[in-house]
Each structure stands twice: as structure tokens, then as C-alpha cells.
Chain A
Amino acid sequence: MSTPPGAAAFCLRLVRRQLLLAFRRPIDIANPLVFFAMVIALFPLGLGPAPDQLAAFAPGVLWIIALLSNLLTSDTVFRGDYDDGSLEQLLLAPQPLYLSGLAYICAHWLVTGLPLVLISPLFAVMLNLPAAGILALALSLLLGTAVLSLVGAIGAALTVGLRRGGMLISLLILPLYMPVLIFGSACVQAAVTGVPTGPYLAILGAMLSLAIALAPLAVAAGLRISIDA
């Protein structure tokens, strides 16, 4: 019998729990990466294998695939906990749902966004992205995928109560992904052409700050609505 933990300790517990769950099913971490690799393989087949042509498309292509692989996993953020009733318990916890939601998103990013960032140089090489763009790609993905996870969680929270949320969630959140795509791919493009990437990363960072501040509000509201539906 003990007093409820503070919000920070509780969030740490949630992150540990989500990570433990993810590591018990490592295939779920690997799947988006395999998806990424397979879609990479589609582009030379569709566009032709000419290296300079691939290099020209690489910044945009890499970012679009990152966006899609994030989209594929965003539905799962709250789905499992909704199905087995854990989400009800989370909503009844005395700690603020704003922070709990943020903990879920953080864990989701750690198992989807971060691996993508780490493996992105490999994919960049496969698409002939010039070496100058590789660091910019990793850095822009580092900031950008965090925004994608935050925005995706809004869609996940709003659709978790629906039996077939998968297709709907793309319709809801893809338009919201567009600014990240624009600045993410422009950042890589800038690095390739030798323009400083600082401003682009700063804008992505600003988007991340805004998303951290506001997205959990929408996530909390969405979860309360979904659990009621």
C-alpha cells in the first residue's frame, strides 16, 4: 500500500512498460524498417536505375517513405491497450493524461522513429543520395519523426474506439504531415546543394516544440472521447 507516484515517475513507468512490450515483440519494431527497405526497392523499379535520377528524387522519396512507415505504426499506439482494457485504467489514473499520453508517444517514437533515423544512412546510400545529404537526412528525420509520432497519436487517439481505424487514420493525419514533409525534404535538398541546413532544422524544431505543447492536449481529449464511444 503506497501513495500514487508523481507524474514524472508514472511517465517513466509507462515508457518502461511500452518499451518492454515492444521488445517482447521485436518483429513489430523490425516491420516498419523492412517496409522502408522494400519501398526503397520499388523506386528504382518504377523510375529506372539511373543513379543520377535516383539521387535527384532521393530527398523527397526518403522522406515520403519515412512518413508512410510512421503512418503504418501510428494506429498501434493505443490500440492494444484499448483492446485489453488497459486504456480505461490509464484514463482513471490520477496523474494528468496529458503527460501519460506524451509518455506513450515518446515510447512509440523510441521504437519507430529512432531506429529509422539510425538506419536512414543505409537507405540513403541505396538511393544514391550524395554524401553531403546524409547527415541532414538523419538530423531532419530525428526532429521530423518526433513530430510525426505526436501528430499521428492524435489520429490514433481519435480512431482507437473504431473497429476499422486503419484507413481512416491516414485520411485524418496525412494532411497534417505535409509541413513536416515540405521542410524535411527541403532540408536534405539544401544539404545536397550546399545551402546551410540550420534554418530548416530550426523550423522543424519549432514544429516539434509546438507539437509537444499541443498534440498531447488533443490526444487526451481524443482518448476520453474514444473510451466513451
Chain B
Amino acid sequence: MWSFFHKLGSPPWLYGIAGSILRYLLPVTVIALVVGAVWGLLFTAPDFRQGNSYRIIYIHVPAAVVALAGYYVMAAAGAVSLIWRMKMADVAMKAAAPIGAALTFVALFTGSVWGKPTWGTWWVWDARITSMLVLLFLYLGVVALYEAFDNKEAASKACAVLSLVGMVNIPIIYKSVDWWYSLHQPASIKFTGESTIDSSMLYPLLLMITAFYCLFACAMLMNMRAELLEREAKTGWVRKLAAEGAH
């Protein structure tokens, strides 16, 4: 157990293991994405009310789900970095932030595109969209704070504190925004509410969600490898790697 933790703290070991995980995870991710997308976009029946435009949920929902989960991954890495002072947790946290921000942006963008045919407008201050927007701000705050520090170690610790503060606040913000929306919901825009989803639409959606989780993991591992190389640029193992021209 302890030897595992010890290994986890070793940059070359982490670099290597991330590489071997990627070797298997990357093909799985690509296959899951392609299968899920083709299944969802071509082989499911159109929605009886929304027609084909609903199909954007195969991008929108997975992006939103994984973006939110990504914040918790980042905060968990931050907690590990603060409690056990594990430098590799810093690397994981720094790697997760921009990916989470990007996925949040994708979720917002697809939500907006979906809104045009559904509600007739690009942007609606709907509870979920507003919450996603706040999530984007939280991610951007972490990224901006990291970039503002010259000392990258202090930057990681500060971001760890900020992401934990954000984690405590996310449920409060979500609940507040939900409540706020229920108070102000304009009568002109009517939602279907918690509609049930047919299993023929659900399975491709679940596959896409899984694929997005894998995509997040792949992007995070790649980011971590790049960050490790940058941090350890002056050490022996990186020089050796560069000399070998290894991948």
C-alpha cells in the first residue's frame, strides 16, 4: 500500500504508467465516441415533439455531466495535495482545470444551439444553463489564479484551496439558482419538466456519457504527462527521455 503511494509520488513512474494507461484507454475512447455518436445521431428515432434537434443531447448531456464531475475530480486532487502534500496531486489538479472549463463551455454552447430551435432564442436564463455558466466562472477562477502566481507550488496550493471552497459552494449555488428560477420562471416559456426518456434513446446516451468520462481521463492523463515533463525538465529522466526521442 505504502509502496504504491511512494510510487505515485515518483514523476517517472507516473509518466510511464499514464503512458501505458493511455495506450489502452485512447482506442477505447475513440471507439466509444464513434459508436455512441453514430448510434445516437443516425440509428435512434426522432423525438415526437422536437424532431431531430433533440439529438444534440448526445453531446450536451455528457459534456455537462462530465464537466461537473471534473470539478469534483479537481477538488479531490486539491484535497490530496493539501493534506498529504503530494506533488503529483498538484499535477492532476492543474491538468483537470482547463479540460473541465472546456467541457463546460461545450455544454453551454450546445445548450445554446439546442435552445434556438426549441425555445426560439440562443440564450435563456434557465436554471441549468445559469448553473453551468457559474461553473464555467468557477473553473476560470481556478485557471486564472494558477496563472497569476509565479511560484507554481504556491499556485497549486492556492488553487487547491479555491477548488475546495468551490466544491462546498457548488451545491449551494445550484440549489439557489434552482430556487431562483422556480421563483421567476416566465409563463411564456413552458418546459416539459422531467420527461421520461425512451430506452432506445437512453442507451446511446449512457454510452456517450461513458465515452466522455474516458475522454476526460485521456485528456487529463495527456495534460499530466506534459506538465510532468515541463516541471521535471531539468532532471535526469526527462533528459534521458529526450535523448532517446521516446514517445
Contact = CB atoms under 8 A, between A and B. Distances in A.
The 7 closest A-B pairs by CB, nearest first: A229-B154, A179-B176, A175-B137, A172-B141, A225-B157, A182-B180, A182-B176
Interface in B152-187: 154-155, 157-158, 161-162, 164-166, 168-169, 172-173, 175-177, 179-180, 183
B172 A179 contact: yes
Chain B interface size, under 10 / 10 to 19 / 20 to 34 / 35 or more: 20 to 34
Nearest to B136: A175
Contacts of A34: none
A168 B148 contact: yes
Contact of A178 (B134, B148, B154, B183): B134
Given A159-B148, A162-B148, A228-B154, A171 B172 contact: no
A221 B158 CA distance: 8
Given A161-B154, A175-B134, A221-B161, A183 B176 contact: yes
A218 B164 contact: yes
B145 interface: yes
Contacts of A165: 148
A175 B154 contact: no
Interface in B99-156: 134, 137-138, 140-141, 144-145, 148-151, 154-155
Nearest to B149: A229
A176 B177 contact: no
Interface in A170-188: 171-172, 174-176, 178-179, 182-183, 186
Nearest to B137: A175
Interface in B161-220: 161-162, 164-166, 168-169, 172-173, 175-177, 179-180, 183
Given A161-B154, A175-B134, A154 B165 contact: yes
B149 A162 contact: yes
Given A171-B144, A207-B172, A176 B165 contact: yes
Interface of B: 82, 134, 137-138, 140-141, 144-145, 148-151, 154-155, 157-158, 161-162, 164-166, 168-169, 172-173, 175-177, 179-180, 183
15 contacts: A158-B162, A171-B141, A171-B144, A175-B134, A175-B137, A175-B141, A176-B169, A176-B173, A179-B173, A179-B175, A179-B176, A186-B180, A225-B157, A225-B161, A229-B149
A222 interface: yes
Interface of A: 154, 158-159, 161-162, 164-165, 168, 171-172, 174-176, 178-179, 182-183, 186, 207, 210, 214, 218, 221-222, 225-226, 228-229
Contacts of A178: 134, 173, 176-177
Nearest to A220: B161
A222 B179 CA distance: 31
Nearest to A174: B137
Given A176-B166, A225-B157, A226-B158, 19 more contacts: A154-B161, A154-B162, A161-B154, A162-B149, A168-B145, A171-B141, A175-B137, A178-B134, A178-B173, A179-B175, A182-B176, A182-B177, A182-B180, A218-B161, A225-B154, A225-B158, A225-B161, A228-B154, A229-B158
Looking at chain B's contact residues, the main secondary structure is: helix
A225 B152 CA distance: 11
Contacts of B138: 175
B150 A229 contact: yes
A160 B168 CA distance: 22
A216 to B, nearest CB: 12
A225 B175 CA distance: 31
A74 to B, nearest CB: 14
A222 B158 contact: yes
Nearest to A165: B148
B158 A158 contact: yes
A134 B30 CA distance: 59
B145 A172 contact: yes
A168 B171 CA distance: 23
